[in-house]
Amino acid sequence: MDTLHLLDTFNLLPFAELEVGHHLYWHLGNLKVHGQVFITSWFVIAVLILASLAATRSIQRIPTGMQNLMEYALEFIRDLARTQIGEKEYRAWVPFVGTLLLFIFLSNWSGALIPWRIIKLPEGELAAPTSDINTTVAFALLTSLAYFYAGFKKKGLGYFGNYVQPEPIMLPFKIIEDFTKPLSLSFRLFGNILADELVVAVLVLLVPLFVPLPVMVLGLFTSAIQALIFATLASAYIGEAMEDHGHEGEGHEEHS
């Protein structure tokens, strides 16, 4: 019983609470939406828009400050898309991949870096938008749509030829793959981010000071890697959908 009382006193500390599965519900018509996800997403969107505005307000030939940072980000995204999608087609997909990468990256880091707990909600708590499964499923389905669109736009109905390449026996696996791709994309991101936040929360519950710091730093690192992986996989799927099987030996060199 004593240990239980100890846990109770920990729960009285303002920053050491574990809340999973409690949400701030907003009612839109017949829909119940998770309000806390919207609030944090809007915050991330606002940060991204402000950063873009600040970077492009007065463009210099020799970039400094914000412009320099955003140009670095753009070059990074362009390289990523080029290695995965290929030299010829990547340009049209830079905005999509870049939006995914920047939004997921900022969401993950906002959950880890910004002390959302200071803001009290009537129910639930503010956290990274990507630690809610709805956000990540939305991203994954968008990626699915994007690669179907890319394939159909490039090859028309010939896209279905992909399903019987290189052997017709692959057909069932290729069809299953279309379902497992969004499933694994969404679960990977959601699980990683939620796991980060839970591990930090549990450690803060046990030892409130200093001890959770290394785990927090590790969380920052894995969050950044997860954003990179999501963008890399999305562009790899898009590149795969547009791959040209007609000319053998041409499509495979762009996979890094």
Partner 1 sequence: MDPIVAAASVLAAALAVGLASIGPGIGQGNAAAQAVEGIARQPEAEGKIRGTLLLSLAFMEALTIYGLVVALVLLFANPFA
Least Cα distance to 203 among 35, 36, 16, 14 occurs for 16
Which CB sits closer to partner 1, 134 or 184? 184
Candidates 58-66, 117-125, 209-217, 218-226: pick the segment binding partner 1 (CB under 8 A). Answer: 218-226
Candidates 60-68, 95-103, 105-113, 228-236: pick the segment binding partner 1 (CB under 8 A). Answer: 228-236
Candidate list 94, 114, 216, 229; residue touching partner 1; CB under 8 A:
229
Q: Mask of contacts with partner 1, 101-130, x by CB under 8 A?
A: ------------------------------
Q: Hey, CA dihedral for 234, 238, 239, 245, is it positive or negative? A: positive
Candidate list 198, 202, 211, 218; residue touching partner 1; CB under 8 A:
198
Collapse the DSSP code of 163 into the 3-class scheme (helix H, G, I; strand E, B; otherwise coil) and give the result: helix
Candidate list 76, 232, 245, 251; residue touching partner 1; CB under 8 A:
232
Q: How far is the CB of 48 from partner 1 (least distance, A)?
A: 24
Query: Where would I find the H helices in the chain?
Result: 2-12, 35-56, 65-85, 94-113, 133-155, 171-206, 213-242
160-189 residues near partner 1, rule: CB under 8 A: 184, 187-188
Distance CA 61, CA 63 (A): 6
The answer to whether 152 touches 159, Cβ cutoff 8 Å, is yes
> Which residue type sits at 220?
L
Distance CA 53, CA 48 (A): 9
Which residues contact partner 1 (rule: CB under 8 A)? 20-21, 184, 187-188, 190-192, 194-195, 198, 222, 225-226, 228-229, 232
